[in-house]
Amino acid sequence: MPPKPWKTLSSRPVYQNPWTRVREDIAEMPNGKTTIYGVVECGECVGVLPFIDDQHVVLIRQYRYVFGENIRWEMPTGGVKSGETIHDAAHRELREESGYDALELEPVCTYYPSKSIMQEVAHLFIGRGLTQVHELPDHTEFFEIETFPFERVLEMVKDSEIRDSMSVIAILHAARKLGW
């Protein structure tokens, strides 16, 4: 039998910007006691692992403010805008961040990046049939773009050089699909 759900007694907004909302809830647990619960709302996001051919993928590198790093490679990712389908968002993010579009977006999986405090749903794709395009990135994004042998990218995941969950999950799914 599944655990009993908690009941939200109150909810108040704490912070909001165009990408993120934070709220503080008071929740009643199944034992009747109450607890404070912080929730970060981010909406939906997408990621595309773009294959140039069967053995090579395009990755990007950018400065990641939260960790103060500019050394890690990752696949193109980003948020789904209001009124946008997840496929449209995946195409847009791929174009903006890599300079490519994909003729085919193969769904890989949908998952929760952080199930305990963050309300966000991630949709991952493998992109194939790439064509170069010229689309400008968002005003807050500055990228380095490079093509890697997929074998090297898989090693980068195994060695924890690639650490973001969207890239790790997509790369491991791609390796499984390719029989690696």
pLDDT, tens only, 123-162 = 999 999 999 998 666 666 778 999 999 999 999 999 999 9
> In angstroms, rounded to a whole number, what is the distance separating the alpha carbons of residues 162 and 174?
15
Name the region of 46 (left: φ>0; alpha: ψ -120 to 50; beta: rest). Answer: beta
Q: Which of 63, 14, 64, 67 minimizes the C-alpha distance to 41?
A: 14
> In angstroms, rounded to a whole number, what is the distance separating the alpha carbons of residues 7 and 34?
9
> In angstroms, rounded to a whole number, what is the distance separating the alpha carbons of residues 149 and 73?
13
Domains in the chain, CATH or no CATH each: 44-178 (3.90.79.10)
> In angstroms, rounded to a whole number, what is the distance separating the alpha carbons of residues 23 and 63?
28
> In angstroms, rounded to a whole number, what is the distance separating the alpha carbons of residues 55 and 112?
29
**Which tokens in the block code for residue 125?**
């794709």
Give helix 165-178 / helix 150-158 axis angle, nearest 10°: 130
pLDDT tens by residue, the chain, 180 residues: 999 999 999 999 999 999 899 999 999 999 999 999 999 999 999 999 999 999 999 999 998 888 888 889 999 999 999 999 999 999 999 999 999 999 999 999 999 999 899 999 999 999 999 999 986 666 667 789 999 999 999 999 999 999 999 999 999 999 999 988
